[in-house]
Every structure is written in C-alpha cells, then in structure tokens.
Amino acid sequence: MTQEGGPYFTERFMEAWHRLDLRTGRRVKQLHLATMLSERLGTPLSPNTVKGWESGAIPDVETIAAIADLCDVHPAWLAFGLGNPTDPVDGVATVRPPKPKSEGGGDEPIFPAAPRGRRLQSSKPVAAPSRRRKGGEG
C-alpha cells in the first residue's frame, strides 16, 4: 500500500532493512538489528521494538536517523519518502537562521524549499474522530 509520493514508513523501513541484509551478505534478524541500533543510540532496544516498526509503529527522529545510517539510506527518504534511498546524505537541507540584511540577507527563507513534486507524508492516513455519543445514540 502506498501514499502519493511513496510507500508508508513500514515499507521504507523494510526496504532499508533488506538493503542491510544485502550489504552484510546475510539475513539480519530482529535481535541483531535491535542490538546494532542499541549500540548506535546508547539506548537498549528490544526485538519487539523492531517488530513494532514492521507492524506500523514509527520510531522517533533520532532512531530513524540511526536506522538510516546503519542501512545506508537517506534519512529523509526513510522518514518521509522524500527523494531516493541512495541520495547523498550531505545534500540534506538543514535549518539555518537567515543572514542579517547588513550581510545581504533578509529575503531568504529559514527553511529551504522542499523538492518539487514531493509532499511530506505520514505513515498512515488519519481518520476523523467518531462523533457518536456514548450509549449508541447519535
């Protein structure tokens, strides 16, 4: 299942994990992946955490960056489906303050423009809350 512009986070995560398998020449199991990420993050992760990502849970930004680094994919692609998994990481846009007008600035946006044709996307569609009243009346 995909959204406009790319697959959901879970599908991108699974593709990144498969790339790690190919790079290491063997199937990296949940326990091994959790261990490698724990070492990078300095925080213990369990295989159940990895299983959660396979089932649709979304990790925090720091963990997404660690997964991207470990699997050698672009973090913006992994997190949002922007660009391609193999885009160079040094091209990641960073937030920077605008230059003062005295230095020729003032017209620059703080956030660089997103690539054309790409939209930020969540991993799952968000359903509107139910308007049903308790007790079945409605």
Please name each of the domains of the chain with its CATH number. 7-86 (1.10.260)
* Dist. CA 133–CA 131, nearest whole Å: 6
Query: Is 12:29 a contact under the CB 8 Å cutoff?
Result: no
Looking at the whole model, is its pTM more than 0.75?
Answer: no
14 or 138: which leads in pLDDT: 14
For residue 66, with 0-12 CB atoms within 10 Å meaning exposed, 13-18 middle and 19 or more buried, which class applies? buried
pLDDT in tens, 31-76: 999 999 999 999 999 999 999 999 999 999 999 999 999 999 999 9
Record the tokens describing residue 96, joined without a space. Answer: 């920077």
Calpha distance 52→76 (Å, rounded) = 20
Element (H, E) at 2: strand 2-3
Q: Among residues of the chain, what percentage have pLDDT more than 90? A: 51
